[in-house]
Structure 1
Amino acid sequence: MPQVFPPIPASPTDTTELEAIRHAAEALRASEARYRSLVQASSAILWLASAAGRLEGEQLSWSAFTGQSQEQFNGWGWLEAIHPDDRERTAAAWTGALAASSMYQIEHRLRRADGQHRYMNARAVPIFDAAGAVTEWVGIHIDIDERKRVEERLRLLDAMSQATRNADDPKTIMDVTTRMLGEHLGVTRCPYADVESDNDRFTIRHDWTAPGAISTVGVYSLDLFGARAASDMREGRTLRICDVDRELDQADGGAMFNAIACRAIICCPLVKEGKLVAMMAVHQDCPRQWTDPEVALVEQAVERSWAHIERLRATEALREADRRKTEFLAILAHELRNPLAPIRNGLQVMRMAEHDQATVARVRDMMERQVTQMVTLVDDLLDIARITRGNLELKPVRVELRELIASAVETSMPLIDANRHTLTLEVASESLLIDADPTRIAQVIGNVLNNAAKYTPAGGRIDVLAWRDGAQAVLSIRDTGIGIPSESALTVFEMFSQVGASIDRAQGGLGIGLSLARRLVELHRGSIDLVRDETVGGSRFDIRLPLAPDVAAQSPGAATPPASAAGGLRVLVVDDNVDAADMLSELMDIIGHASRVANDGPRALVLAEQFRPEVVFLDIGMPGMNGYEVARALRGMPQLEPLALVALTGWGDDKDRARSKEAGFDHHLIKPANLEAVERLLTDLVETRKG
């Protein structure tokens, strides 16, 4: 049988060595466990590289952050996660550190798993063995993106400030700011917009565009963004859309953005004192994940740009006010000198002809007129001063608007007659009672009438209309004068403002009449506006005043101009022959009807919409849009019914009459129309409507 040998007992020395090995292994496992825990708990990226600088084995935090697998980052594959613009610089720094066995340190951008690049501070140190050879490298990436983005943002904003420091107009600021912001963010378009005073419309004054992109300069409504986004922007909340097609319905702004090839947008509204004042946006022609720092950059850019622009505008406004004040003082001196010269000469004449009573009487009348002119001028100045100080006291009473119109017309008639103007009055028959200071409202009407008389060439026409519009009385004064240029429309009501002012102008005046008129009307809780009306050859001013409460509470009438008194009709005469149209219109006025004249089809349609005629005398043979086309268009306006259409033509056979009837005409008159036939036709229409 086999021999059994007893086990050889371990020597004390062997036992000690085994224990040491076991303890070392446990310590190594504990160290690795601690390292793994540290890697998992840390927001930094910890990694190990071989002595040759290659990433090998498992790199938990690197994979978690970059999304790279071990196969992808192995060796030098980790460089693929570095931003392309930083890759060459990073490889050179890493190679240099390996060659010198010295600390590796660099800042670069590292791609996160979601595709976003983050700024990182990367460091690595070599680990040496007992012989001084490098055995491995221990590295760490610390996220410094927020700090770098803040620094980057501040540098860009500072560069914008430096670039626009010497700018002397808002357009330069908009141009430089939008260009620098657009190029920095690499977007398709960068617009800057002012928000209009109605807090609804915004005007894109300027936009920077990348090559091939269309400009969006123009006027828009906030409603185009959709109700929710428009409300947010009025509250100052930034609009951030990363994918228009995914995040917006067509009705909620999607259609608007797609129309300008915008697939992603940041739109930053700027609210000051509770009011939306400006907006700046960046557009991208493809979906884009906007970052918080990018949004913050646009928000700060619009804040700084607006502040700079407003400083320039305020400075320019002060210059303009100073210029107008200087001009005003020169005009004031001129206007005071005008009456003083004849008064002084009159005194000399009176001394020389003191026994010639007729001459003295004429001179006295002249001096009274000149003194009255001076008193009126000084009174206007005092009124402006009182209103400015808040010392003007109104004395309101219950009064019919037509009485105030009559009072103002009586005061202005000498000037109107002196210029041989035709004045027409059309005041609604219904009550237009208002609570107002009669003197002040008559003064307002008189100021506007006097302007119309002064700035309308001799032999012109002034129309005064008054009607009810809901709870307001509307007074409209229109003339065939020189009109007001579009560039002056916004300043015509400002103090010291004049249209085409010059010392040698013939009309005279200080240019404070409309400013005074607006302030007086506003004290009555009303408004006065310059209205753009293509049917008016010169200017149109509409004055709106609140009706007395008991009148306003009654069922409101239609918001249309009134018919003539005494049962007359509103008649529109349309003829390209100006003389023929004017003569027929004159006849309308003489026989008690209110008339308007248009000399082409498009103007006739605009005037019909505003004037609401009851009868239209319409020439068939007009160039461009002929009478048949105008008639069909008029019949398409249901608000004009019932409307009597009367054809005026040189053709009168059965075929022509049938064609005019087919086009919608009620009556057919041969040119030149018999005036008795015209009057008889209108009389029949009046009687028919009474019946």
Structure 2
Amino acid sequence: MNRQQPSSWHQICQEQDNIVSLTPHHLELVPERVLDNKLRPNEVLQHTQEQLLWYRQLYEQLPSIYFVLDSSGIVLSVNRFGADLLGFTPSELINKPVFDLFASCDRTSLADALISLFKMPATAPTSNWEFRLDCRQSKIKWVKVVAKILPGNEQNPLILLVCEDITDRKRSEDAYQESEERFQNMANTTPVMLWMSGCDGLCNFFNQFWMQFTGRTIEQEKGIGWIDSVYPDDKLKCLQTYYSALNTRTKFQIEYRLRRADGEYRWILDTGTPRFIPSGEFAGYIGCSIDITERKTVEAALKSSQEAAKAQIDEMDRLNRLKDEFLSTVSHELRTPLTNMKMAIQMLGIALGLEQSLLVENPKLKTPDSKASRYFQILNNECDREINLINNFLDLQKLDIDSKPLVLETVIIRESLMRIVELFKARNRNCRSNLQIHVTPNLPPLVCDPFSLERIIMELLTNAAKFSPADQEIIITAQLKSQNIEFQVINTGVEIPELERDRIFDKFYRIPSNDPWKQGGTGLGLALIQKLTRYLGGTIEVESNSNLTCFTVLLPLRGE
């Protein structure tokens, strides 16, 4: 059959217009027995026409694009469904080159593919390709092309070309390819080492940073080749951790040493996270490896420093224990002779007719031997001073090691302060200052150690009396401050230099040139009351300005 000869289909339709009215579009494939229609009865002819019509309708509506081409690629026939899919009518495609429907970049490839059909044997399988379309009114962009030479027309061969829409698949492939390229680009530019493995645990991807770090090729690293760069002592632990996590499909993290391209082993923190496809099936691992050598170096230095610090602290604790034991022994050894000295002084006083109790009650009492009286007084005062020093020192040692027991009692503040003031006056009959007490009425009782409270107030009063000029005031106040009792001991006529205020609570520290009457002191009094105040859960502060010095002690209402 050639393009100039009328097809069998056309002959039948022209001769049998009274049987069926059809307007076919170049469908030439008709059984040969139809050519005998003049010899057949009318009934057989009608039946044949109905079959042809049925086949024609089937052809027109096949859900793909069907072309019949001549050997030069001219469209001889196209089904209506396919033409509609391309955005044309069948008549617009008939006698047009099929190549015009394809993208210009694929036309040569399609022509080569059709030419190759004529070189294949008749028994060769059907050839198929994938090409892009260029039809403005069509949503189809990609088609899978299946082509075959139709048998029976060796002189004028015809080509059956079937196109299947694969646009969605191609879009998915392009999206996947774009995602894959984006991942590759991100993985190869990120400044950390990345790797991936399949469900069998064998690694199939290493990013560019990994390759640069190890100086190896991807072929060397794939599978379990990467283990060759791991430090020998770390290989077994590394593989055990990895395959243990692989068996349970769980995340893992491991530290190991990896040989760098320059031969140096670097510490690596490797974290592997399992991957799963949308169906939930395990797909392998994706891992991130970070160089942590600097961190490990800092950790090692810190550990060494901590060990050295601990050893130093242990040594200091040992020395402190030795010091405490030594000072305790020395203090007790000093206290024994001082006690004997005190007793001897008292006996000497009796022998001289100057018993200590008489001196306290009547300091103006004169004795026949004034020099002996003066020497006795010096000896007695210095002995008391040394005994006070030893007692203070021992109390500080007990507070430093938290061995001084607290005896908590309910203290009525006004009564306690009155008693402390009377005791102070009895011990300091030569005090030249005016002493006043101001207590806020109806103060709640204070729960604390009464002996420690007495020691604090007594020491502050003694300190104020010692450094206050004659006829100045010493004022004691007590008031409620939130859930605390605030005690203040104020003395006028003297100030503590600002540079000295932070040091007056130090042990053995005495303010230079601040003892006008040369009364001396141990330098432990304020240090002791600061320790006692903290031991009671309180605070102590000092303010000194405008010719006035004020010590403020804040103690909680309930000693806990």
TM-score, length of structure 2 as denominator length = 0.36
Larger Rg: 2
TM-score, length of structure 1 as denominator length = 0.31
